[in-house]
Structure 1
Amino acid sequence: MAYLFVHFKEKKTPDGEQVYFGISREGFEWELVNEGNPILWSYFGDKGVRDHTIIRTEANDFVIMSTDLSLSYGMLNQYQDSWEKIGREGSKSLMLWRSKDLINWEKQETIQLGDENFGCLWAPDIIYDRQNQDYVVHWSSAHARNNYGQKAIYYSRTKDFKDFSMPEILYQKPDSGVIDSAIYEEDGQYYLFVKSEAHPEKIILLRSEQVTGPYERVVNFDKSMADLEAGVYEAPTAVKTADGSWCLFLDFYGTTTEKQGYIPFVADALVNGNFVRSDEKFSFPYGYKHGTILSITEEEYGRLKNYKKPISEF
């Protein structure tokens, strides 16, 4: 088993907010793909993409979805250097790419899931719901229902990533907004990581018997995160490794741009929520930003390791 980490780079130039790949044989030592250059480039919407998620479908195809947002372009133009303006007026769509082999990707698609009452659609994630035999796409947004106040996690169902159900609320926290959702299944239970925007301003973990909730807090996870500084971690993503343990990666942004990137934590299982920081076991060629990890085959690893996109395609 090997692993693919789909991510972006934190840069002030437009090439950072595109789709990048990293690969690893064991999930600890990460390598460049395409010499560290973008795999996919966004040409629609904001012409930049962040917060990527990837899934292997039941048909063994691949789908990437991303936030439609370019700070490189937008902060200087339509958003007027205002995060609040992005939250209210940002894209109501997510960007999508499809592939059968992780090398050849179909034309970029714009998927509008939000209506005029939604603010920006942030940080999509996808999980397959085996009970319903469909995919649950979830993301965070502000909404007109509470005057674009505290964000909630919304979801939409799809069987083919073409037709989507109307968005519904998956999770909202009574005392703060929540963003950056990631859901995983273990032993018939679903585990939801989110970033709480206050009380605490940290990553929290919740558990449910259904993909779409209701979710209850895993208190032991709060204890394992107690020593982490508040307000400097976001974008949780996790993967189950070959030895059965879980690796949770948190995107650390409480430093200069050059030093930002993922910090790893390891646990024997999700059920106990007992994650231990494990920096010394991992290495990255540069700071990966908000993305998702996918288990891949040795053959897929080999294809990606040897992949070099022609310069003319950049």
Structure 2
Amino acid sequence: MKVSHLLRAIVVVASTIFGLEISTRADSSLVGYLGVFFLGDAPNIYFYLSNGNNAIFFKALKSGQPILVPTLGTAGVRDPSIINGAGSEAGKKWYIIGTDLNIAKTTWDASQRKGSLSIYVWESTDLINWGTERLIKVENDNAGMVWAPDAIWDSVKGQYLVHWASKFVSQADSNPTLRIDVSYKYSTSDPNHTGNPGPDQIRYAYTSDFKTFTSPQTFINAAPTSIIDLSLLQLGTNSYARFLKNETATNVYMERSDTGLFGTWTRPGGVSAMIHSGVEGPYAYADNLVAGKVNLLLDYYGSDGYRPFTSTNMNANAWVDADRANFPTGLRHGSVIGVTQAEYDALKAKWGT
């Protein structure tokens, strides 16, 4: 048995006995990372490839030109998330989903009241050929928008759980006697959604193919606090970390559950703990080389975009600034996956760096 295989076996055994995290372990089959982002003034999809297995050293593919340019909907995509196929699609399929929003054609207020209720979807069997996008409606007409869609494989359900942020009218508008701000629905008598909007909440639906989705439901409602930009990372069989932006306080924080996606979530470091303020679009990804290490990107939306952070303790609010010397500036809310040697070579051969 090779030493690397022996060490991985020891980690798995120890994890079983002591309940340690195992899915954030290093993966010897992965040799690099593919990053998928949009740029602030260019709502298209851009690919960045890592310099080998350095999780925070990226170079633009295709000489910095967009890989995917949407033509449907608003013809502008934000917050792209690349999703590894799972279940029967593991290693055979990848999806990219994103927000249907071209802010140059609207306003922030209008985009939250009567914004797109659909998400962009591209799919590929090789990370190279992505075909034509499709626009799939996932939210009800009484919602204001669908922002920052992302997905995670739910092994219990055997489907992808797709989640996004949406906004509804304040229930206080419908019942003036209420003195609390609770998310509700825009009335059918208010088709233009002119009512006072309530706080953002996280919604979700299930899909097996990113073509048909179950009816949307509420995943996280923290009213009166607005929350957006959910990112989920599996830590173990039934353990997850989730990262959210508190839109009200404009900071990003982390919560953890060891009882599943719909279990009990607590915030490491205490109920007021946060990672950073003045940031959004958190995206966390496990390190290919260091077992238990997690890389986190935070979008400094009022400054130079994404900056990297790292942690080796997901039971604490213990994030440190990573070396930014080789991390590109100007990247906005996106996502990162690990890639194999064959995938890395194919991406480099197709678009260079």
2:39 maps to 9
1:101 corresponds to 2:126: yes
1: CA distance, partners of 2:125 / 2:336: 17
Give the match for residue 266 of structure 1.
310
Report the number of matched residues.
288
CA gap of 1:248–1:308, structure 2 versus 1, over 3 A, is: closer
Identity percentage of aligned residues: 32
Distance 1:42 1:216, change over 3 A: same
TM-score, normalization by structure 2: 0.77
Contact 1:171 1:215 (8 Å CA) reproduced:
no
Structure 1 unmatched runs, 5+: 310-314
Aligned positions of 1:1-314 closer than 5 A: 1=30, 2-11=32-41, 16-24=42-50, 25=52, 26-58=54-86, 59=89, 60=91, 61-72=93-104, 74=105, 79=106, 82-144=107-169, 145=184, 148-187=197-236, 188-198=238-248, 200-208=249-257, 209-219=259-269, 223=273, 225=275, 228=276, 230=277, 232-241=278-287, 242-244=289-291, 245-255=293-303, 260-278=304-322, 280=323, 282-308=325-351
Residues 12-53 of structure 1, C-alpha deviations (whole Å, 9 max, x = no match): xxxx10111101122121011111111111000000100011
TM superposition outliers: structure 1 runs of 4+ over 3 Å: 220-224
**CA distance, structure 1, for counterparts of residue 133 and residue 327 of structure 2:** 28
How far 1:133 sits from its partner (Å)? 1.1
- The offset of 1:203, in angstroms, is 0.3
Give how far 1:175 is off: 3.4
Distance 2:62 2:233 in 1: 29
- Write out per-residue CA displacement over residues 138-163 of structure 1, whole angstroms, 9 at most, x where no aligned residue: 00010242553100000001112122
**SS of residue in 1 equivalent to 2:164:** strand
Mapped to 2, the partners of 1:105 and 1:223 lie a distance apart of 40
How big is the shift at 1:215?
2.8
Shift of 1:221: 9.2
Shift of 1:116: 1.1
Superposed CA offset, 1:99-134 (max 9, x none): 001111122111101121011100011100111111
AA matched with 2:340: T
**Secondary structure of 2:149's partner?**
strand
**Secondary structure of the equivalent of 1:151?**
strand
1:282 CA displacement: 5.0
Paired residues of 2:250 and 2:280 also in contact (CA < 8 A)? no
1:243 partner letter: V
* CA RMSD after TM alignment: 1.8
Distance across 2 between alignment mates of 1:223 and 1:135 = 30
* Cα offset, 1:274, TM superposition: 1.2
TM-score under structure 1 normalisation?
A: 0.87
